[in-house]
Structure 1
């Protein structure tokens, strides 16, 4: 399916929308005509509330937090603080990988008192200005929580844990040197269990990549073990193909045998979360438009970003950044 730029721009820059019954309606316009069916057959996620705000956190070095990643641990860890572990971080120096825990995806979440659980210096492995963008994957084979995080913006690393709190450093998994010349940033990576038999791979990584052209795209790679990676030279999703200046914060989703990537645009390009069907072998590029339309009201203020997903007792949820970059909060929407 070819991306309809005019349709996207109308949605991205028009009235704020809320979803109902698989159709979007403009807020404050009762009985408005249907604008867009939910793409890919996914739930229509609706804002429920705010989970974390910097001003209420004990560890708050820069008064900003980004990039939530939530994992159910109730059936994975024998000793745990709550049913769900929510990882997040400040971005600006010094950053720091942080943890909160709770028994419901609608909250409340309690800040772990030992934050940050991973800092910007880890001797003898690295010493950088900041670490951020935590993505934790449950590795069933090793029965471990695997943490992928960046610092600096050109390097993504892996650490591993048996309890989701105390991590052991593993290795660098991605740098700009692994991509074509002119690449300046490789960060905000998320990793998922996904088979690519033709490439001998069992894991997929999606991430943000930037270049000297200073337009951010979505990159991707594949791995047999989650530690040693190969990467595509061309973007998985090019910013220009979806009518945006920058795209970032990708997440893999599957539904009814189909494979998708969702990601956000910068606020100047609408501030929404978009969706592209990539296919089981990542050979498709069907840009389906808006997955989640950010609201003009607080806390989103026209920007929703960096989504992650979970299910709580059969109910689907999306956790995400809400608000202006580096001045927002972590929010939750229910499907």
Structure 2
């Protein structure tokens, strides 16, 4: 398994060309950050030599108080601890809302509670062996509330890998690469400038045995990342770029110029959705791109706000052609509806037809089916999800649908969509056996974190190196990513997925991510570029072959 923790800030040259005959003439370039993934490894103690030097490069060197160097470790040498020995180290996770602790332990004796690390005088943070239940434990005060996770089968004389990770509303404990316990927990970790290794300055006894490869991370870790640490105990650098938060994209500019289209209310298009059309009887091109403006006829100079279709035989050269019959769907069929927007298309194999989902107005997501077998002619099917199906929301919009059966459910289709609880947007999901009739799950999938600046929306579901992930946009103007698990029962926020360019074309905002792969295996990221109500469809190409190999998309065609 490849290592995936990059402690360097990764930058790529983004060439901002224009795609298509009606392009905007952008030829500038800039060095931008491919993701906000920098310095996830906060501190690292290899315990080689006689000092507790921090190998992360962040300067968190510790002070040895009695612990003996030179013992045989899981990787090279390590420190042994006995009768009050400890190592005092600075605590980079003090006050953090997400993070992780990773340590290899080997016990000489387990006859009483034994602290591994922590700061426990005020019962704030501790990883320890719990003699009462004969389990490993981790406890932390998050948001002012003490939370605890326990598990595993401790033994004397064996190396065991322990990871505690918190963030995204959940605290988890992993033992030897396997999650053994989790609990709901949110808020900031209690503040303390130092922690002990080999003790916790509290009522748990000092560690009796060896410790090695002690790490802290400035964000929560995914199950796949924990597995990598377990399977590679001696990998000290962990600097390869194979992380979903460090995918390299090259910005290709805009798919087409909104101002050059015949149908272009307000010269704005959002929420791209692309299908490959080989299963459609009479397609317009190899690829169909569905998108839409947003707003009302009053804000769009009297024009109808509906769904637009473009087609092309390629993904990367900007040769998108506007469909002459745009808009293919508009609000005229519905009384009192001001707009139809955020289209998402999927070819449903069981029907042999394209199903298209869009909202209008924002309280309801509707569905249509391709009655013309051309991917352009649609008849209305009905409401898919609306706010009456669950409590507390004024919106049910910006939905994407996947033919994905959740293992512990009996559904065939899974929908992710945006809800609005009192002005705060979350991402929820719904399930269906037929793509038409839906059941909304009572639990939210993604809730906004402090770094998101208020709201989350525009979900896109995919897999990366075995992880089931949602990419989404937030109020801060960037795209972020979280691990949600194959049962959609996790919320492990991983970091930034794609950062908006500060200048053209994004103007500080990129949203509504949509990934698609061409026949040559090259992934492309289509997205909503630039400020709201002045947006266009942006295009980026994934440039790293390892990232492309790790990426697995659900087939929408």
Q: Deviations over 1:10-54 (max 9, x none)?
A: xxxxx9x8448xxxxx9279xxx9667463387422211211232
Structure 2 Cα separation of the partners of residues 101 and 324 of structure 1 = 25
Matched, 1:257 2:466: yes
Q: What is aligned with 1:141?
A: 350
Q: What is aligned with 2:412?
A: 202
What TM-score results when the alignment is normalised by the length of structure 2? 0.52
Aligned partner (choices 289, 294, 297) of residue 495 of structure 2: 289
Structure 1: give runs of 5+ residues left out of the alignment.
1-14, 21-25
Matched, 1:223 2:432: yes
Question: 1:320: how far off?
Answer: 0.4
* 2:259 match: secondary structure: helix
* 2:472 match: secondary structure: strand
Structure 2 CA distance for partners of 1:41 and 1:305, relative to 1, 3 Å: closer
Structure 2 CA distance for partners of 1:273 and 1:34, relative to 1, 3 Å: closer
Q: What is aligned with 1:99?
A: 309
Q: What is aligned with 2:446?
A: 237
Q: What is aligned with 1:307?
A: 513
Aligned partner (choices 2, 27, 31) of residue 31 of structure 2: 27
* Pairwise CA RMSD: 2.3
Matched, 1:46 2:50: no
Q: Deviations over 1:57-77 (max 9, x none)?
A: 11122222111111111x212
Matched, 1:190 2:391: no
Structure 2 Cα separation of the partners of residues 210 and 41 of structure 1 = 27
Q: What is aligned with 1:334?
A: 541
Q: What is aligned with 1:86?
A: 289
Structure 2 Cα separation of the partners of residues 279 and 304 of structure 1 = 25
* 2:408 match: secondary structure: helix
How many residues in Structure 1 have an aligned counterpart in Structure 2? 305
Aligned partner (choices 64, 67, 74) of residue 268 of structure 2: 64
Q: What is aligned with 1:9?
A: none
Structure 2: give runs of 5+ residues left out of the alignment.
1-8, 14-29, 41-240, 297-303, 543-557
Structure 2 Cα separation of the partners of residues 92 and 192 of structure 1 = 26
What TM-score results when the alignment is normalised by the length of structure 1? 0.85
Question: 1:306: how far off?
Answer: 0.4
Structure 2 Cα separation of the partners of residues 126 and 200 of structure 1 = 35
Question: 1:80: how far off?
Answer: 2.0
Question: 1:286: how far off?
Answer: 1.1
Structure 2 Cα separation of the partners of residues 234 and 141 of structure 1 = 29
Deviating runs (4+, > 4 A) in structure 1?
A: 33-38
Partners of 1:192 and 1:203 within 8 A in 2: yes
Partners of 1:105 and 1:317 within 8 A in 2: yes
Q: What is aligned with 2:545?
A: none
Structure 2 Cα separation of the partners of residues 253 and 91 of structure 1 = 26
Structure 2 Cα separation of the partners of residues 325 and 305 of structure 1 = 10
